[in-house]
Chains A and B, each alone.
Chain A
Amino acid sequence: MEPVISIQGLNHYFGHGHLRKQVLFDLSAHIDAGEIVIMTGPSGSGKTTLLTLIGALRSAQEGSLRVLGQELRHSTTEQQIQIRRQTGYIFQGHNLLHALTARQNVQMAMDLQPHVSAKQAKKRVDEMLCAVGLQDHLDYYPHQLSGGQKQRVAIARALVAHPKIVLADEPTAALDKKSGRDVVEIMRNLAREQGCTILIVTHDNRILDVADRLIHMEDGRLSETTLSV
């Protein structure tokens, strides 16, 4: 079976001409379906850049990057959009839409699933918000929710459409120990149920134990770390 994410000899540069600077060097990695992988590394090492490349938010420049069987180098905008729709993103900031309630924010992800009926979509939104423990806050606006609650809405939004891949960038950075732990547990449980692949970038040592595998990025180069838990 083909890995969900397959990286081979990937280089990436920022800037043009004299200012051109290489940030990713000859990366190679494979992530299989259902794996939970945590990527660690110092700030500025290129972790986020790799995440945006995998998420088809940035165009790949050199080497090969295959996600869900789609080569992302020289991919069209439409192909990128299809990858994005099969990916759930969890951001450092929650990035919720301020004008929408928790329910509507999650609904925005379901609106991209044309084959799901409106009734079905609504049901899944409510179920997902219950699963992240927000059954009492369905119609709250983001400014009425705490940091942890907002991050849970963001997770519900990322997972409600049953994405094949979840990309998370420092999902626990803005949270205290307890909520951070809860958030990761929720992600792991939901991922197990839906069988999706998760790639988390984090500095947070407290959550490393949820990973099946750790990879380490330093100065734009990847190295595999053995799991010591």
Chain B
Amino acid sequence: MIFAIPLAWLQLIRERIRLLVAIAGIAFAVVLMLMQFGFRDALFKAAVRFHESLNTDIVLISPQSTALIAMKSFPRRRLFQAAGFDGVESISPLYLSFGLWRNPINKSTRQLMVIGVDPMAMALQVSDTPGWQNALKLSDHVLFDAQSRAEFGPIPELYRTGEPVTTEVSGRRIQVAGLFTMGANFGADGNLLTSDLNFLRMFPDRNPGLIDVGLVRVKPGVDAKALAKRIGATLGNDVLVMTRNDFAEFERSYWEKSTSIGFIFSLGALMGFIVGSVIVYQILYTDVTDHLAEYATLKAMGYRDIFFYGVVMQESLILSCLGFLPGFVVSFALYTVIANATSLPVWMTLERATLVFTLTVTMCTLAGAIAMRRVQAADPADIF
């Protein structure tokens, strides 16, 4: 017969204002945690969007390269050497650099990443502009990343009007020959895709014999990982050979481990956790304090301490569920706003929602466990 009356629930809804404050506080903590984790995941996801759009199996880079924003070039002949291995179907070089883009509307300049590929090698998966390979064969023609930040100008809109869009990159006049989709990341606000020849026109200082990424496609049925290992062992120490997925992981681990970004966002999430815990603790502590006389009465009637611990625990679990829902909804909306405003791939995942819900329950349980000690202050001898 114990717990026949849902005392925890009845006590919570008795104090409407306090309940709303508690829910708002928990929702705030939930939003904070979801945002921080969301940003962190978006950063990692954005950082490897380039890698994932590469149409290749094996990648060659310089051992001195640490990330896409800090690539060191290496001799192109290493790539030609790789072409000689059994199982290799084709090779193609890829040049990377950062150029200054002039906004054609307000003439301001901003840095974006320029990717130079052999247009006939199908090095990148581009679906937005059919026949883009031929378009890039023309001199000083480029594809503009439609998901670049708005500061570069309304290029996609201008392009779709059909008028030729011309502007400057690093002082050289170029024409937009089409669009592709990659998206901004924390290192580059926008991307430009062009042919290797146009790339070298844009950056006359660059030596054609030094490339940034070597792309190697293997024949069907060949184990890319084993082949990459074999190539790496033969080519020596001045080049790193890895599969495309390892290349993406290489980039990811740079941002996660070699920069403070992963740590900062985790710390931000921890802040949310602590703020939430303190709020829930305050609410539960006040709640227990307000009910001390009533609890003392119940103790006098023969209720055990465990009953009150149960009430506090139930209250904290109810609070965590009630607070998570609005926090989840608000975060969902904020993700959409942020994704639109920043071109970062921020969206809700089941994994993250589960993680934050677990953290919320932990947070409330922890706060409840501390507030429980207050129950011992209810002394049945004081009630008369």
Judge if B87 is at the interface, Cβ distance under 8 Å. no
- Given A95-B293, A112-B302, A121:B381 Cβ within 8 A: no
Judge if A10 is at the interface, Cβ distance under 8 Å. no
Contact B381 A116 (CB under 8 A): no
Complex CA distance for A166 and B259, rounded to whole angstroms: 71
Encode contact with A along B1-30: 1 for CB under 8 Å, 0 otherwise.
111110100110110000000000000000
Contact A118 B1 (CB under 8 A): yes
Specify which chain A residues have a CB less than 8 angstroms from the CB of B299 in the assembled complex. Answer: 84
Picked from A82, A99, A112, A114, the residue with its CB within 8 Å of the CB of B301 is A112
- State how many angstroms separate the Cβ of B374 from the closest Cβ of chain A: 17
Specify which chain B residues have a CB less than 8 angstroms from the CB of A104 in the assembled complex. Answer: 5, 10
Picked from B4, B291, B293, B381, the residue with its CB within 8 Å of the CB of A111 is B4
Judge if B377 is at the interface, Cβ distance under 8 Å. no
Contact A58 B383 (CB under 8 A): no
Complex CA distance for A157 and B5, rounded to whole angstroms: 15
Contact B1 A55 (CB under 8 A): no
Judge if A134 is at the interface, Cβ distance under 8 Å. no
Q: Which of A15-23, A34-42, A85-93, A221-229 contacts B (4 or more CB under 8 A)?
A: A85-93
Contact A111 B5 (CB under 8 A): yes
Picked from B3, B297, B302, B381, the residue with its CB within 8 Å of the CB of A52 is B381
Contact A89 B1 (CB under 8 A): no
- Which B296-331 residues have C-beta < 8 A from chain A? 296-304
Contact B300 A89 (CB under 8 A): yes
Contact A89 B301 (CB under 8 A): yes
- CB nearest neighbor in B for A161: B301
- CB nearest neighbor in A for B2: A111
Judge if B380 is at the interface, Cβ distance under 8 Å. yes
Picked from A51, A100, A110, A169, the residue with its CB within 8 Å of the CB of B10 is A100
Specify which chain B residues have a CB less than 8 angstroms from the CB of A29 in the assembled complex. Answer: none
- Which A93-128 residues have C-beta < 8 A from chain B? 93, 95-100, 104, 107-114, 116, 118, 121
What are 15 residue pairs bridging A and B, where the CB atoms are less than 8 Å apart in the complex?
A57-B300, A57-B380, A82-B302, A84-B301, A89-B297, A89-B300, A91-B383, A95-B296, A97-B294, A100-B5, A110-B4, A111-B2, A111-B3, A112-B1, A112-B301
Residue numbers of B with Cβ under 8 A of A are 1-5, 7, 10-11, 13-14, 291, 293-294, 296-304, 380-381, 383-384
